[in-house]
Amino acid sequence: MRRSAVGLAALALVLSACSTSEPAPTPVASSWSPAPVVPLESQPPPSLVVDQPLPAQLAQGLVVIRYRAENLRIVPVYGPNALDVTPRIGHIHVTVDDAPWHWADASGEPLIIQSLPPGPHSVWIGLADPTHKIMDSRTVTFVIPPGERHDHG
């Protein structure tokens, strides 16, 4: 019982030492930018930046393409209601060698394509809004050199 009373007295002493009668300083309103949860009134147009494939991997038959979106966040959210999200969100569409089909990707990670035969190739990357409307695109061309291939699977 005595140990509990000593503990409570120590706790009361610590709490009283930590309290202050001075009010907390208020931030100066002009030095703060808008909270990130406030919808943006306007946004610059989205754009896509795409790097050339890495040469060392091309020599092994592996295509690694880094990209980034500017003024758009890559996320797996789709549909017309997502058009109202600010900052803007979207994903990419990818077509290899003018294929009649494409795939969508919302990972934001580099594209990795393997098992293309030696020779010239192209990869089209489209920056799409949540309803799959293309807002910007880039085409990357490269050559897979002939030579020894390594299994990447």
DSSP letter for each residue of 36-103: TTSPPS--PPPEEEEPPPPHHHHTTTEEEE-EEEESSEE-S--SGGGGG-SS-EEEEEEEETT-S--E
Contact of 51 with 72, CB cutoff 8 Å: no
Look up the pTM and report it: 0.70
pLDDT at 43: 85
| Structure token digits, residue 21 | 């009668």
pLDDT at 99 over 70: yes
pLDDT at 41: 74
Element (H, E) at 127: strand 119-128
pLDDT at 135: 97
pLDDT tens digits, 12-47: 444 444 444 555 555 555 566 656 666 667 889 999
Residues in a beta bridge with 32: none
Q: What is the mean pLDDT of the chain?
A: 82
Q: How confident is the model at residue 145 (pLDDT cuts 50, 70, 90)?
A: very high
CATH architecture designation of domain 47-144: Sandwich (2.60)
pLDDT at 38: 63
pLDDT at 14: 41
- Which is it for strands 134-144 and 119-128: parallel, antiparallel or unpaired? antiparallel
pLDDT at 12: 44
DSSP class of residue 27 equals P
**What is the average per-residue pLDDT within 125-134?**
98
For 54-58, 121-125, 136-140, which range has the lowest pLDDT when averaged over its residues?
54-58
Tell me the domain boundaries of the chain.
47-144
